[in-house]
Amino acid sequence: MTGDDTRHLPLEDLHAAAGARFGAFAGWSMPLTYPAGVMKEHLHTREHAGLFDISHMKLFLVSGPGAAALLDRACPLDAGALEISQSKYTFFLNEAAGIIDDLIVTRLGDQRFMVVANAGNAVFDEKHLRELAVDFEAKVEALDRVFLAIQGPEAWAALARAGIETGSLLFMHGIEPRQNWFMSRSGYTGEDGFEIGLPESDARNLVATLLKDERVLWIGLAARDSLRLEAGLCLHGQDITTEFDPASAGLMWAIPKDVRVSGAFIGADALRSILERGPSQKRAGLKPEGRQPVRAGAALFDAEGNPAGHVTSGGFGPSAGHPVAMGYVSTALAKPGTRLFADVRGTKIPVDVNPLPFTPHRYRKG
């Protein structure tokens, strides 16, 4: 099952002991589900607290007098305008404004930034950043960390019981609470929650403490996917790729207005011309009628049978209680309520364009 190139999580033994079923994702052997199963894991996260091992994701420390300038070149960002501890969702774009990866950048100090990148793109991202860094007074360090997410309405309380106070930390802010730790109030489930990068030995202690709390359960990648899809969040490689730009993806909220106008980021010219003429397609939420899930790759058609787009993520939403999907549709058809049809194994399933998210975000913003 696992080739020589498959990477293994540092805490793999803990997942195996917890009864995880493993599967390949982005070159890693990842826990997909635990014995509770995806449905219970999903609902537990929305009601209590889910613990996720996301060590396949990569943390980079970017530092030096030119760190902000480097990030402003690499991302459509005004890194210097971030307050210390403020996080920002952003991207690496290519010259055509295609999305190379989506990232979270957190300002840790005057000249220090944490960049969290996706597993599947980590190698490319590191090379990309290092190549760009040559022109700036900035250093790029790939950190060796276990990365845990604890998500759900009781995440803060479980951390408090484990001796980690999170009270003053607001959503999309990150700090260094202990030596070699990085903790942000963030996540990819739509719930309040935290992501913590820390050394392996500290991680083993923290996990052991957290799992003593009956509110905390290990949650696998399968539920992580259904949680983020219900929350309307994009999975890079599916919902956003270099084929899509931030305007088509409906992610322009991540780019400050003045950066759109005058930023010197890679892809700026291409993005400006896309914005000028308007994107021809847009990412949209899709709600299939009935119980049958509509999955990634399904072609979409309008009422007359003309091609209308395609589905990029789809499955069942355990909290929504119905199938949920997202995809790209012609701009004219992207309005919520528009009835489209998805081809599923030759049958046309009615799907309605639906606002995202499917389940309301419950972030703690202040």
316 binds another protein (CB under 8 A): yes
Burial tier of 366 (Cβ tally within 10 Å: 0-12, 13-18, 19+): exposed
Torsion 35-182-101-123 (CA) sign: negative
| Pair 241, 99: CB distance under 8 Å | yes
Short-list 147, 237, 236, CA closest to 200: 147
318 binds another protein (CB under 8 A): yes
Short-list 223, 317, 238, 212, CA closest to 20: 223
Whole-number minimum distance, CB 300 to another protein, in Å? 17
Contacts with another protein: how many residues (CB under 8 A)? 20
Residue of 225, 233, 279, 285 interacting with another protein (CB under 8 A): 225
Task: Tell me which residues in 226-265 interact with another protein (CB under 8 A).
Answer: 226
Please give the Cα distance from 317 to 227 (Å, whole number).
8
By beta-carbon proximity to another protein, the closer residue of 260 and 322 is: 322
124-150 per-residue burial string, b: 16 or more CB within 10 A, e: under 16: ebbebbeebbeebebbbebbebbbbbb
Contact segment (CB under 8 A) with another protein among 37-45, 201-209, 271-279, 353-361 equals 37-45
Contact segment (CB under 8 A) with another protein among 36-44, 125-133, 154-162, 184-192 equals 36-44
By beta-carbon proximity to another protein, the closer residue of 324 and 329 is: 324
By beta-carbon proximity to another protein, the closer residue of 47 and 213 is: 47
Residue of 15, 42, 58, 185 interacting with another protein (CB under 8 A): 42
Residue of 238, 241, 242, 292 interacting with another protein (CB under 8 A): 292
Contact segment (CB under 8 A) with another protein among 35-43, 49-57, 148-156, 163-171 equals 35-43
Task: Tell me which residues in 70-89 interact with another protein (CB under 8 A).
Answer: none
Contact segment (CB under 8 A) with another protein among 52-60, 244-252, 274-282, 311-319 equals 311-319
313 binds another protein (CB under 8 A): no
**In 3-state terms, what secondary structure has residue 214?**
coil
| Pair 220, 38: CB distance under 8 Å | yes
By beta-carbon proximity to another protein, the closer residue of 295 and 364 is: 295
By beta-carbon proximity to another protein, the closer residue of 38 and 116 is: 38
Could you give the string, one character per residue 158-177, with x where binding to another protein holds by CB under 8 A and - elsewhere? --------------------
Whole-number minimum distance, CB 290 to another protein, in Å? 9
Residue of 29, 33, 151, 166 interacting with another protein (CB under 8 A): 33
Q: Write out the two tokens for 158.
A: 């479980």
99-109 β-sheet, strand order? 87-93, 99-109, 112-117, 58-63, 139-142
Whole-number minimum distance, CB 226 to another protein, in Å? 5
Whole-number minimum distance, CB 86 to another protein, in Å? 35
Helix axes 38-47, 221-230, angle to 10 degrees: 60
Which ranges in the chain belong to alpha helices (H)? 12-17, 38-47, 67-74, 122-133, 155-161, 200-211, 221-230, 257-262, 268-277
Residue of 18, 74, 198, 222 interacting with another protein (CB under 8 A): 222
Neighbouring CB atoms inside 10 A of 307's CB total 11
Which amino acid is present at 101?
Answer: D
Residue of 18, 20, 30, 38 interacting with another protein (CB under 8 A): 38
For residue 108, CA distances in Å to 9, 41, 129 come to 26, 33, 18
Q: Write out the two tokens for 31.
A: 């826990």
By beta-carbon proximity to another protein, the closer residue of 53 and 225 is: 225
- Footprint on this chain of another protein (rule: CB under 8 A): 21, 32-33, 37-39, 42, 222-223, 225-226, 291-293, 295, 315-316, 318, 323, 345
